[in-house]
Amino acid sequence: MDVLFLIKSIDQIHNGLCNGLSRFSGPSRAALVYAKHRNSPLRVYDPCDLLRGHEPRLREHYLKHKRGKQLLPAEKKHGHSEYMTPDLAGIIACGGNFPNMFHQTWFSEHHVDTSSPGPTTRWLEYACRLLSQDLGTKSAIDLETSGYVLQNFATHAVRDHIVDMRNLSLGPDTRLRIYPLLDAVLNISKTREEGKWPMGDLIFVEPSQTHRIHYLATFGDFERPSMKDFKHIRKLLQAVEGNRHKLVSNGQKIIGIGTGRMPDFSVIAEFRGNHGFIRVQDETVCSFADGGFHSSTRQANLVQLEEVLLELNLEPNRIYTIMKVVSTLVRSAQERKHGCALVLDYGSPLANISGQHLETPLDLKRHTDLDLATSLAKVDGALHIDLMYLKLHAFAALLDGRAVAGENRARGARYNSALRFTAENNQVVLVVVSSDRPISIIQHGAEIKAKCDWVPRYQCLCEPMTLEEWIKESAGQE
């Protein structure tokens, strides 16, 4: 019965963790390495194969030096002992020794476009606490509660990370409350003024440090808008739109408009239209959009393109220049909210494409020519770029080809035309930017993805394998 309850508890928390992190960071997986008692063997719960490929590092960390039997804590904190988690590429981990679970370490994916791993780490830390709590209460009625909590933990994870950052510098005795601050930011971000989304910076300063700000204008004590009056604050935000000034708040009311250097470890909300960012010091904690917090940096993810360039055996400085030019074109299309397609042609001779050809190709390494190219990208059609010399030969190019397998009717004509064109032209790479922000890297008639779409697995609840068995099984599959 105890084993069955443990497995059900792990399964509920795992599902809640995956669902919650998927809303916060995009499709996410999770895994657990645990030992129930000091003399219990380490076991692996990894239904999504998150840890596959990391077996050598896990073997070295847990088994090589008999650390599976020891798992000595690194630091005592809040009723549990923190533990030195294994350092795995592309993985965020958090674990420790807990009262009702001798050792547990939860793992999740470190997405390429993650602003900061801090909120995700706090998420995993809370999963550890909830599992230990469930094993202590042993209440079958409340078994699903932990999963529900983790599904909607984004605001709490962001808040916990901000509090931890500020406490390390300012100490725990601070008066700036973070929950009301985050609620105000979300309410303001959803409020339009004359049809326009909010733009400008709002800074929340520790009340004891507000006197250190250089104010351009201040409001009287009885004229200061409350943070609960988010519609009024949305109107005032127009005063700092398009400049470097900031609307200053002490967490409860708006004090005035400030400029210049701000007190350390203040919380800055940067409103950028239909989205924005939360920053503390030089760290971007998270972004916000659509009434919620997300981990995305909202920048173009061109990792797959960089991998393609590496396979072409180009020089590092040339790869850097190509990535810089492509990033500029993609970022411009995203900011202006228009779609575009970039045909990166490394063939000799270049592919024959119908379009508006230029007598003298534009040199995209020059700032003026690159600026013109960002404007030409608005014209319906693709930009035809010589990848080796970074020159724009044509714009408004038409991409054609025969139908191919894998076309996606949920995407527009630009995406599917790129699939058809690359299927018939082997020496081109296409970067497709949709007007609603998705970016696709297409080559040889298929989209290049960092990973395959994960298909949920349905399985009976049985005791997970020990770490040694799991590693041996993985070696046998290879």
Greater model confidence, 337 or 251: 251
pLDDT of residue 74: 46
Q: How many CB atoms lie within 10 A of CB 110?
A: 18
Q: What is the pLDDT of residues 265-292, one digit of tens each?
A: 999 999 999 899 999 999 999 999 999 9
pLDDT of 79 > 80? The answer is: no
pLDDT of residue 437: 67
Residues near 476 by Cβ (< 8 Å), separated by ≥ 6?
none
Average pLDDT over residues 50-61: 92
Average pLDDT over residues 242-252: 95
Angle at 110 between CA 106 and CA 112, to 5 degrees: 170
Angle at 438 between CA 434 and CA 444, to 5 degrees: 85
Confidence of residue 423 (pLDDT cuts 50, 70, 90): very high
Quick one: how far is CA 423 from the chain centroid?
31
Q: Please, what sign has the CA dihedral across residues 168, 169, 170, 175?
A: negative
pLDDT of residue 337: 83
Greater model confidence, 346 or 475: 346
pLDDT of residue 455: 60
Greater model confidence, 474 or 230: 230
Which of 93-102, 113-122, 136-145, 415-424 has the weakest average pLDDT?
A: 136-145
pLDDT of residue 69: 45
Could you report how far apart the first and last alpha carbons of the chain are, in Å? 35
Domains of the chain: 2-152+458-477 (3.30.450), 178-294 (3.40.1700), 303-444 (3.40.1700.10)
pLDDT of 457 > 80? The answer is: no
**Angstrom distances, CA of residue 207 to CA of 108, 263, 324, 419:** 37, 11, 42, 56
Average pLDDT over residues 149-167: 96
3-state DSSP assignment of residue 311:
helix
Q: Which residue is associated with the tokens 């909010």?
A: 198
pLDDT of residue 8: 92
Q: Which residue is associated with the tokens 């219990």?
A: 40
Which of 62-66, 100-104, 143-147, 232-236 has the weakest average pLDDT?
A: 62-66
The Cα 169–Cα 278 span in angstroms is 18
The Cα 178–Cα 172 span in angstroms is 13
Pairing of strands 382-386, 340-345: parallel
Average pLDDT over residues 99-127: 94
- List, as one string, the DSSP characters of 170-183: H-S-----HHHHHH
Average pLDDT over residues 346-359: 94
Omega before 207 within 30 of 0, i.e. cis = no
- Is 353 in contact with 394 (CB distance < 8 Å)? yes
- Average pLDDT taken over every residue of the chain: 90
Which of 40-44, 158-162, 466-470, 471-475 has the weakest average pLDDT?
A: 471-475
Average pLDDT over residues 54-62: 92
3-state DSSP assignment of residue 124:
helix
Average pLDDT over residues 294-317: 91
> Structure pTM?
0.87
pLDDT of 470 > 60? The answer is: yes
Average pLDDT over residues 183-197: 96
pLDDT of residue 477: 63
pLDDT of 330 > 90? The answer is: yes
Confidence of residue 251 (pLDDT cuts 50, 70, 90): very high
pLDDT of 236 > 90? The answer is: yes
pLDDT of residue 109: 94
3-state DSSP assignment of residue 62:
helix
Average pLDDT over residues 33-38: 92
Burial group, residue 348, by CB count within 10 angstroms (0-12, 13-18, 19+): exposed
Within 228-365, where are the H helices? 230-236, 303-311, 316-336
The Cα 126–Cα 243 span in angstroms is 40
- Is 296 in contact with 25 (CB distance < 8 Å)? yes
- Is 205 in contact with 266 (CB distance < 8 Å)? yes
Share of the chain residues as helix, strand and coil, in percent rounded to the nearest 5: 35, 25, 40
H or E element: which one contains 340? strand 340-345
